[in-house]
Amino acid sequence: MLEWAVMDFKLKPEHLEIQRKTREFCEREVMPVAAKYDKEEAFPWELIDGLRKLGLLGIIFPKEYGGIGLDTVSFCLVLEELGRADAALALTVESHNGLCSNHIYLAGSEEQKKKYLPRLATGECLGAWALTEPAAGSDAASIQTTAAFDGKHWVLNGSKTFTTQGSVAGIYVIMARTPELANGGGTNITAFVCEKGAPGLEIGKKEIKMGLHASDTAQLHLNNLKLPPEQVIGKPWKAFRDVMRVLDGGRVGISGISIGIARASLEEGIKWVKPRKAEFDIRPDLPGLSGAGKILADLATEIEAARLLMLHAATLLDNGEKYSKEASMAKLMSGELAVKAPTMVLDLFGPYGASLDCNVQRYFRDSKLYTIGEGSSQIQELIISRHLLAD
Ligand SMILES: Cc1cc2nc3c(=O)[nH]c(=O)nc-3n(C[C@H](O)[C@H](O)[C@H](O)COP(=O)(O)OP(=O)(O)OC[C@H]3O[C@@H](n4cnc5c(N)ncnc54)[C@H](O)[C@@H]3O)c2cc1C
- Which residues participate in catalysis according to the annotation? 374
Taking Cα atoms as reference points, which of 369, 53, 107, 383 lies closest to residue 213? Answer: 369
Phi, psi of 272 (to 5 degrees): -75, -40
* Torsion sign, CA atoms 78, 81, 83, 89: negative
Instruction: Indicate the top mutation candidate among 162, 244, 331 to test ligand 1's pocket, ranked by most ligand atoms within 8 A of CB.
Output: 162
For residue 62, the model assigns a pLDDT of 97
Contact 303, 259 (CB under 8 A): yes
For each of the domains in the chain, give its residue range(s) and CATH number, in order of start: 13-126 (1.10.540.10), 128-240 (2.40.110.10), 241-389 (1.20.140.10)
372 C-alpha vs ligand 1 centroid, how far in Å?
Answer: 5
CA 78/CA 306 separation, integer angstroms: 16
Atom of ligand 1 minimally distant from the CA of 133: 26
Nearest C-alpha to atom 27 of ligand 1 is from which residue? 137
Residues 6+ apart with CB under 8 A from 115: none
pLDDT of residue 46: 95
Beta bridge partners of 175: 191
Residue 176: the pLDDT is: 97
User: For ligand 1, atom 38, which residue shows the shortest CA distance?
Assistant: 138
pLDDT value for 237: 86
Extract long-range pairs of 357-364: CB within 8 Å, 24+ residues apart.
357/35, 359/34, 359/35, 359/264, 359/268, 360/265, 360/268, 360/269, 362/34, 362/35, 362/38, 362/211, 363/87, 363/261, 363/264, 363/265, 363/268, 364/211, 364/339
Spell out the per-residue pLDDT of the chain, length 391, in tens.
455 555 667 899 999 999 999 999 999 999 999 999 999 999 999 999 999 999 999 999 999 999 999 999 999 999 999 999 999 999 999 999 999 999 999 999 999 999 999 999 999 999 999 999 998 888 888 999 999 999 999 999 999 999 999 999 999 999 999 877 655 655 789 999 999 999 999 999 999 999 999 999 999 999 999 999 999 999 988 899 999 999 999 999 999 999 999 999 999 999 999 998 777 766 666 555 568 888 999 999 999 999 999 999 999 999 999 999 999 999 999 999 999 999 999 999 988 988 989 999 999 999 999 999 889 999 999 999 999 999 7
Ligand 1 binding pocket (C-beta < 6 A) is 95, 129-132, 137-138, 162-164, 209, 212, 217, 369, 372-376, 378-379, 382
CA dist list (Å): 159 to 69, 83, 128, 202, 239 = 34, 30, 14, 9, 18
- Whether 44 contacts 89, CB under 8 Å: yes
pTM of the prediction?
0.95
pLDDT tens-digit readout, 11-45: 999 999 999 999 999 999 999 999 999 999 999 99
Going from the Cα of 83 to the center of ligand 1, the distance in angstroms, rounded, reads 20
Taking the CA atoms of residue 206, residue 210, residue 216 and residue 217 in that order, the dihedral angle to the nearest 10 degrees is: -50
The residues facing 148 across adjacent strands are: 155
- Cα 225 from Cα 148, distance rounded (Å): 10
pLDDT recorded at residue 134: 92
Instruction: Give me the pLDDT at residue 282, please.
Output: 63
Please state, in angstroms and rounded to a whole number, the distance separating the CA atoms of residues 230 and 180.
Answer: 21
Q: Cα 243–218–156 angle (5° rounding)?
A: 55
User: What is the pLDDT, as a whole number, of residue 289?
Assistant: 55
- What does the pLDDT read at residue 234? 96
